[in-house]
Amino acid sequence: MSDPRLVGVLLGHIRLPRVEASTKPARDLVAMTARSWKLDDTIVYRARLAASELATNAVRHGGGTEMLIFSTRVGTRLRAEVHDASPVMPERHDPAVTDESGRGLLIVDDVVTECGCYRTVTGKAAWFEIETAWPLDPPPTTASAPDTKGPATPTTRNANPRSAVRLR
């Protein structure tokens, strides 16, 4: 269960059984990824909450016996995706005050920068992105006047050793 549209730099992923107990490791993966990059605590909280809601939706309304969770970086955004085997797209509801459920996507929409879902070959993926600063990024290099005493030395920006596989 994967999709070629998955973009960004892969920071973490996990395959879990589609059972209620899997929501904790799903949200923990996203939170752990955010913490390992030293993202702000409010970003970690928002990502954990949104991941929990999407994983809960996959467990309750998804299809198949497992779900995949991906945590990626796309530009300056932290992105998470939850894949399951159901082709049925999630719908936002307008729950009554007395309803015990139906608020998950409203919560996600409120705490993230952008969210959505798309169909995959094996079902669907629900995703969110949160705009954030990345404290472990090296500072931007500034262009200086060329050294007239010798040949110019090209400067390269080394990738952070924590970064993993570039998906696209």
Q: Which residues contact 5 (CB under 8 A, 6 or more apart)?
A: 118, 120, 125
Average pLDDT over residues 32-55: 96
Taking only the tens place, the pLDDT of each residue in 119-131 is 999 999 999 999 9
The end-to-end CA distance of the chain, in Å, is 17
Mean of pLDDT over the chain: 83
Q: Are 126 and 81 in contact (CB under 8 A)?
A: yes
What residue type is 44 in one-letter code? V
Taking only the tens place, the pLDDT of each residue in 58-109 is 999 999 999 999 999 999 999 999 999 999 988 776 766 665 665 667 788 8
